[in-house]
Structure formats: C-alpha cells, structure tokens
Chain A
Amino acid sequence: MADIASDFDFRSWLSRKTDVQATIRESNYSSWFSDRLSGTRMQGLYSKLQSAKGEDQKTAALLEGHAAMVLYSTLIYYVYPSMPSMKREIDSSPELRQNFSRLKGWFDQNGGSRIADDFYRELVNTIAERRSG
C-alpha cells in the first residue's frame, strides 16, 4: 500500500493534481496518524504560525492549519468509522492509536465533525454559486 502521507503537505493539498482513483485505491489513511505527520508536521505548522511576519504570512499559516483540521476531522469522524481496514491498522498500533486518540480528544471538545461538515457545506455552496453565477 502506498504511503501518500509520507509526501503529504497540507499546503499542497490546495494545488496538487491527483489521479483520484489511483490515490484512493492506494492510500494509507492510517499513516496520517504517525508521529511524524500528526506530531512533527503539526509542530512545524505551529512554528510557521508563530514566526509569521505580517498578516499575509499569518493568514497563510492559519489556512494551512485549518486545512489540517478539516482533513483530520474528516478522517476521524467519517473515514475511520466507515473503513474497517483503517480502523484495524490504527487500533493495532500503539503509535497510531495514541495519536488518533489525542487528535480525537481535541476534536471531541472543540467541534468534532462540525469542522468538516461546515467546510464541505461551504465548499458545495461556493461551487454552486460559481456555477450559477
């Protein structure tokens, strides 16, 4: 199974062109809960936010962080419950399970699936507005 998360960059999430079918078939969603991605990568995002100079840099860092929030909210509340293979992988790995619990704990106390729901609702509305405009 390919580990697309190993090359995952939250910022590139906005611009990457992807073979959707191939990526979906080969993706390992569990790897987003590795120490490197859910720990080190998140520390990097926070450092970027702290060191941002000016509103533009700060907004860009926040958008990247928000993209991560939407992604993890989706993985935790929609993908994980619906995908037995991902659930098995996370549940059987102390590293993945611990990071998953840490993230889910934060989301459970701070909006949970609403973070993903709000984004998708707005995305659908944005696309509909553009297409009708």
Chain B
Amino acid sequence: MSAEYNERLDGKLPDWSLDQVLPMLQKILPARAIIYAPEALRPYECDGLSVYKCVPLVVVLPESTEQVIAILKLCDQQEIPIVPRGAGTGLSGGALPLKSGILLSLARMNQILSIDPHQQQARVQPGVRNLAISEAVADLGLYYAPDPSSQIACSIGGNVAENAGGVHCLKYGLTVNNIQSLECVLADGTLLEVGDDCLDRPGFDLLALLHGSEGMLAIVTEISVKLLPIPDAAKVMLISFDDVQCAGRAVADVIAAGVVPAGLEMMDKLAIQAAEDFAKAGYPRDAEAILLCELDGNALDVEVELAHLKTVFESSGALEVRVAESDEQRARFWAGRKSAFPAVGRISPDYYCMDGTIPRKALPDILQGISDLSKRYDLKVANVFHAGDGNLHPLILYDANIPSELKKVEEMGGEILQLCVSVGGTITGEHGVGREKINQMCVQFASAELQQFHATKSAFDPKRILNPNKNIPTLSRCAEFGAMHVHNGELPFPDLERF
C-alpha cells in the first residue's frame, strides 16, 4: 500500500489554484520571496527522499519572522495547507509538498544572530546549517554537539523539526537535549517564545513537544542552541571481528565496562567492502563486522579508557584492535563510515536507507531477520549501525530501472521496521516518519494513541493547515493498511473518525 497522499484515506485537500493564491501572497511578500515558475518549482518537488515527488503550487521564502507571521495568518484565514522545509535533506518525505499547497522554505532565514560565550549559547535563525554553528564558535573553543551525517548541508530548523541525531547521541544526546529555547509561530500567526535561559520553567515542557514534531505544530523562527567546550582529546579505535554477533556482544561489553563512548558505530561486511573501495579508509576487507569506537574528553581519561577498552575488545573476541595514531588516520577511519551511503551507491544503481532503532541486545535477531528477508526478496542489504544507541540503518540495494523493484523494496523495508517494533524498538530513530513511514505508524501505535496524537496536533493547529497528514496516519489509512491494533473488537467501524 502506497504511502503517497490519497484523499480517500488521508482526507480531502482544499482545491487551491495558483491564480487564487498568488495575488494574496503578493500582497504580503516582496516578489523575490515568491517562486511560482514551473521550472523554478522543480527543485522543491522532493526532499532527501527522492522516491516521493510532488510539485507545490508555489514556494515562499520569507526573510523575517514578520513575513512568516503574515504567511501563516493568510493560510489560517483561507485554510491553505502549508508545508515547511529547511535544507531539504530529510530522509522521510517530511517536506514533501502538496499540489494544492504552499511550500514554506526557511532557507533565507540563515543568520547567526548572537553568540554568548558565558552562557555557552548561540541564537540562530532556522536556516543556519548545523555545521556552520560549530564553525562560527570554534575560535571560542566551543561547538554544537548533535552531528547528523548531513551536517554540512542540513539546517538547524530541520534538526529541531526531526529531533535529529547523529553519531554522538549516546553521550551528547539528541537535538532536544541541546536546545535551550525556540521562537516560533503558531498556525494562526501567534508568535511565542518557548523556553528561556532558565533550567526550570513553569508549565508544560512545550519545548520538548515541539522537537520532532515535523513542522506540524508550529514554525520555528529562532533557536537558542547550547554550546559545549571542545573536548581536549579524541581517539578512535577500529576493531574487527569475524562474526557479527561477536561484534554485537562487544558493544554490550563496552557499556558493561562503565564507559560511555562519544561514538560507537558498527558496519557489516558489505558496508565495509563498499566503504573501503570508495574511501580507502584502511578497513579490513575480510572482516565480517567492524566497530569504530571514539572516546573523547580529558586527555588523561581518554588514555585510561582507551587502554581499558582495548582489553575489553580483546576478550570479546576481536580479531584486531587498531588505534588511530594521528589526526589524519582518525579522519580516515571516520571517512569510511561517513561515506558509507555514497559508497553503497557506487556498488548498486540505487539504495534505500532504513532507520529503525532496537534494544542493542536484539541485534543478533534483527540481523538474522534482515538476512532472511534479503534472501526472500532477493535484495542485498548493507548494514550500518549506530551501535551505541541502537539505531540501525540497513541499506537495501536495488535498481529503480527494473519495474516494480521499488515496490518490492518498500515492502521489504516495511517488514524490517515491523521487525524492529516486534523486538521493542521503533520504526524511526532519527529520520522521522514524514510520509515515508506513515503506514508503519499503524503498526507501532494503537488507534487510541493515534487519536491522542491527532488531538495534540489540534491543540496547536485546529484547522490542520501545518504540514497536514505527515507523521500521524488517519485511522482510515490504518484500517485499510490492515494492521490496526483492534482492542476488544471495539474498532469504530464503519464511521471512522477522519482527521
């Protein structure tokens, strides 16, 4: 069953035409902030998940919070659906446009507004790139910790919308743990500041609720990010294994040793070979699995922990433990991991990246399950795994030129995610639900839970104009998907509530 927008299942969309919407926008925005020529709209038809495409009616590029307010007031009054977009690097179709809706790009709101070295915070606009923050504060000895793989390109506003992760989450947390406050605009144009510089605030934790809300509750216009001192030392170890299960157990042994590594990544044989061919990282091509383990902090602590973990890995059955002796070698070890996706892209015409999270102990079962599915669907899978926090990225290799192959991949991907749920995990660790995993949400959540989500949305956006029908499926969709958790046969058939 396709995740694409289906008015029968997802609700009727208003029937706006460009002729109707354009004059209204031209009244409130300068000409340079509006894009509507068909060829200029094309780049906005998809985000980082290019298998879903839809050209929006019009793209607006506001340059100020006032303009965002004006746009939202218009959309609220006229009930025009609006899809927000950051840098467009998202991997779940969260910024997939609607054909009769406005696409709101925050790309031009890209200024770092202030840096406060004493409070160790920076105030930035949503279009600022993730890495640009760390670059701007590096001479103060500070950095912004969350580092999704797309950090060169992805924007901080998008990071908030997706609650983005990265390779350092186990030690430094997700986006939600690294943001101090947000200025945002509600669907009706109300401007508000959520959070402040204090650590204990009255009222509900709306700041947490907005993280990962995929642009469905509010549009973020300013962000105060927390900055951390750059660690004095960082060391990387490359550990190879002749058995994937053994590598999985070694991860548990690290945690049991009382060490919280800054990063702990695992790759399987197919991923190792692809990465090695691509990046010449010095990975052992014949290993069944490798771990990359980064330690950071005080120089003395790093040395002690490094020595400790060496013995831990050796007793866990590692074939070889190598420590990067120079910054250059350390960069090379990481280059292999960070280029794993494009490297896989070289050995296969196309690949589809999944994003489930599992309790680490379930890793052997999941890897076995993925291997079984791979045989059944006759599709190869390379596994890249944020082993420290249990976030798994299987890459399914396929060829989009073969008719029906994508459909097969989507089915297999869906089964992998259901496998993750069945071992107590989740369908998405860091990429978000967007449109891509809208059907799998029916597996992870029961109808009462989905209804609670819809009610949460309505508390912020009663007319449901902000990024409609992303993230949370309608009950009609779940009923049709056939995976709805039916409690005591009390499914409200036939008149399902539609949101």
The answer to whether A binds B is no
Contacts from A to B (Cβ < 8 Å): none
Contacts from B to A (Cβ < 8 Å): none
